[in-house]
Amino acid sequence: MISLISFLIVIGICVISHEGGHFLAARFRGVLVHEFSFGMGPELWHRKKGETQYSFRAFPIGGYVKLEGEDADDDSEPKEPGFDPSRSLANKKPWERMLIMGAGAFVNIALAWLLTAFYLAGHGAYDMSVPQLGNIMENTPAYTAGLKSGDIIKSIDGKPLERWVDIQKTLRSKDKTGDDFEIVISRDGREQKLSINIPFSEKANGRLLGVQPVYKKYPLIQALGASFSYSWSMSVTILKSLWLTVTGRIEADVTGPVGIAVMAGDAFTAGFWAFIGFLGIINLNLGLLNLLPFPALDGGRIVFVLIEMVTRRKVPEKVETIIHYGGFIVLIALIVLVTGKDIFRLFLSSL
């Protein structure tokens, strides 16, 4: 039950934010919005306010905003007397259509950025931007050598360090012979040189110094900056992993609605801040994936607008609609396949 409730909260926030982006951008550019729907399938409830119908549908796995002129079929529908053709999406300038199509993904990415900033300001995180030591673990080379919290590692074996990850990269260098390392630290503004023996650990498959980064809460302005940096880094990682998966260099590990529900339940159980962090990651993934140049996704629709801008000719609307319908069928098939895989995983874990 917790997983289901958590899933509905996550999907509700993600979908309403995404479709809300399309909705607001469409209204901003004067496009008529026929319907704002949460969920797919049979309608459970609706209410019309002004020109737009707001509805809830049976399957809470998505949503949509129905815009005038979005599909080729709209041209055959009867229009109300006095209807202004300029309110059709099809009659808007290419840049306006791109703005409306990309607004949903933009809102998801912006929400991920704000949620991460909220997490950094309210809960805090390890500072990976500098090689400054936080906790020193007992019975480790760092503890034995007398390293202290607050020390900044300036260099290892003459190699200067800039970020926390540089510590591990340098210690795991294949060019290193022997277990003794010359480490220069800065303590209270003064530099000290230490010789530390860091043996290779078979269990960890590497050398362990025995230190952790500084854990801190960020002031609001710094949190916004750190969140942008984190979101950018995470976006690059997501896209790289996707590319490696598509090219067959790593095995695909995709999670569907059932898997997301389980993870949402775990995050909810772990506490408020864990759930906020999870919600930020899901929104970032959703925003990026929707910008991929695949039919039926926002990115696929943007590609057709770019083709129009280059060739100065629109792709026939019926051709574009058929391509998007084909992409939609592929996406639904992938969701069904991944969902079956998630259910099989849950079945195995329960044995």
Which residues neighbour 26 within 8 Å (Cβ) at sequence distance 6 or greater? Answer: 33, 65, 67, 89, 100
Backbone phi, then psi, for 59, in 5-degree steps? -110, 110
CA distance 317 to 181: 66
Could you give the angle at which helices 94-122 and 272-290 cross, rounded to 10 degrees? 160
Determine the straight-line distance between the first and last CA of the chain, rounded to whole angstroms: 20
- Report the residue count for the chain: 351
Q: Are 17 and 283 in contact (CB under 8 A)?
A: yes
Residues 6+ apart with CB under 8 A from 244: 250
Among 152, 133, 340, 134, smallest CA distance to 256 is for: 340
Annotated active-site residue 202? The verdict is no
Which of 19, 68, 70, 320 is the catalytic position? Answer: 19
Q: What share of the chain is helix, strand, coil (3-state, %, to 5)?
A: 55, 20, 25
Which residues touch 304 (CB under 8 Å, ≥6 apart)? Answer: 315, 320
Which residues are marked as active site? 19
